[in-house]
Amino acid sequence: MTTPVKLTAFAAALALVFGAAALAGGAVHRLHDPAAAGAEDGMSMAADPMRGLAVTQNDLTLELARRAAPRDRRFELSFRILGKDGRPIHDFDVEHTKRMHLIVVRRDLTGFQHVHPVLHADGTWTTPLTLPQAGTYRVFADFSVGGKPTTLADDLQVDGDVRSKPLPAPAKAFDTDGFRIRLTDGAVRAGDESELTFDVSRQGKPVSLQDYLGAKGHLVALREGDLAFLHVHPDASSLRFEADFLSAGTYRLFLQFQVAGQVHTAKFTLEVSR
C-alpha cells in the first residue's frame, strides 16, 4: 500500500473512532440530562422545582433597597423587581389572592414571617417589618409575571450577637395558640409527588377553618442549609398539599391557617429520604 493510501485509511479509521465516541458521549449526556430525558418522553421537568436560590431568575432580579436592618425595631422594607432591561416591573399576576408574597426567615429557619407588601406607582414594593433577633435573614419574593411563577431571594443582615438554634426533631404534631396541628401522612421520598395532609383540633375537637389566601391554608417548605424554597399546591377545601421534593434532606414546613379572623402558624421538621 502506498503512503497516501495508508494515510487515507488511517484518517478514515480515526473518523470512525471519533464518530463512535461522539455518539457514545451524546448517549451518556442524554442519560444524565433530565431536560433531554423529559423531552424524549414528551414530558417537561417538574413544574415547580426548588426556587429562591438566586437573586436573578427568569430574566427578573430582586433589588432590595437596604442590606441591613435594625434589631427589634420596626422599619420599612422596600424592594423592586427589575426586568431584563433594568426597569421595574409593574404588572404582576394574582397568585393565592395576592400579587406578591414576601417570606422572611432567619437562616437557622427561625423568625418566620409572611407578609404582603404594597406596590407603588414607581414599581417599588414596601412593607413594615420587625426582626427581633440578630442574624442573617433570607428575604423571598414569591410572585408570578406573565403566567411564569418565580421566587427570588436575597439576604438582609441584622447586627448583634447571633445565637443560632438547631432545628427541632421531626414530629407529627405541633401545638400553638391552643390548637393541635397534626401531620397525618407518612414518609416522603425525594423525586416522588408527595401529599402532605394536616388536621387542626382544639381540646380534641376538629376546628372549622376560614379561607386564607383562597384556600384552607398556606404552606411554605424550606430546605435546611441553602434555604431552597419549595412551592406547594393546596387543595381548596382541606389542608392537603401536593409537593415535589427534588432532593433528600431536612425541610422546615410552615403551615398557616385562619380561625376567627386570626392567622396561626404551625412549624414542622420533615426528613425527606432518597
- What b-and-e string marks burial along 166-199, b requiring 16 or more CB atoms within 10 Å of the CB? eeeeeeeebeeeebbbbbeeeebeeeeebebebe
Residue reference for cell 424554597: 229
- Taking the C-alpha atoms of residue 142 and residue 219, their distance in angstroms, rounded to an integer, is 13
What pLDDT, on the 0 to 100 scale, is given for residue 49? Answer: 61
Contact 190, 247 (CB under 8 A): yes
Q: Examine domains 56-158 and 173-273 and report if their fold is the same.
A: yes
Name the fold adopted by 173-273. Immunoglobulin-like (2.60.40)
What pLDDT, on the 0 to 100 scale, is given for residue 191? Answer: 85
Residue type, 130: T
DSSP at 166? P
Of 118, 119, 136, the residue nearest 128 (C-alpha): 118
Contact 91, 145 (CB under 8 A): yes
The residue length of the chain stands at 274
What pLDDT, on the 0 to 100 scale, is given for residue 171? Answer: 94
- Taking the C-alpha atoms of residue 194 and residue 179, their distance in angstroms, rounded to an integer, is 25
| CATH homologous superfamily, domain 56-158 | Macroglobulin (MG2) domain (2.60.40.1930)
Q: Which helix (H) or strand (E) holds 19?
A: helix 3-31
What pLDDT, on the 0 to 100 scale, is given for residue 246? Answer: 84
Of 210, 205, 212, 196, the residue nearest 178 (C-alpha): 205
Residue 149 CB neighbours (<10 A): 15
Which residues have C-beta within 8 Å of that of residue 86, sequence separation ≥ 6?
A: none
Q: Read out DSSP for 21-70?
A: HHHHHHHHHHHT-HHHHHHHTT--S-SS--B-S-SEETTEEEEES-SEE-
Residue reference for cell 438566586: 54
Residue type, 70: P
What residue spans define the domains of the chain?
3-40, 56-158, 173-273
Of 215, 87, 219, 95, the residue nearest 146 (C-alpha): 95
- Taking the C-alpha atoms of residue 170 and residue 213, their distance in angstroms, rounded to an integer, is 27
What pLDDT, on the 0 to 100 scale, is given for residue 186? Answer: 62
Give pLDDT tens digits along the chain (274 positions). Answer: 444 433 334 334 433 333 433 333 333 222 222 233 333 333 333 345 678 999 999 999 999 999 999 999 999 999 999 999 999 999 999 999 999 999 999 999 999 999 999 999 999 999 999 999 999 999 999 999 999 999 999 999 999 999 999 999 999 999 999 999 999 876 688 988 889 999 999 999 999 999 999 999 999 999 999 999 987 878 889 999 998 888 899 999 999 999 999 999 999 999 998 8
What pLDDT, on the 0 to 100 scale, is given for residue 34? Answer: 29
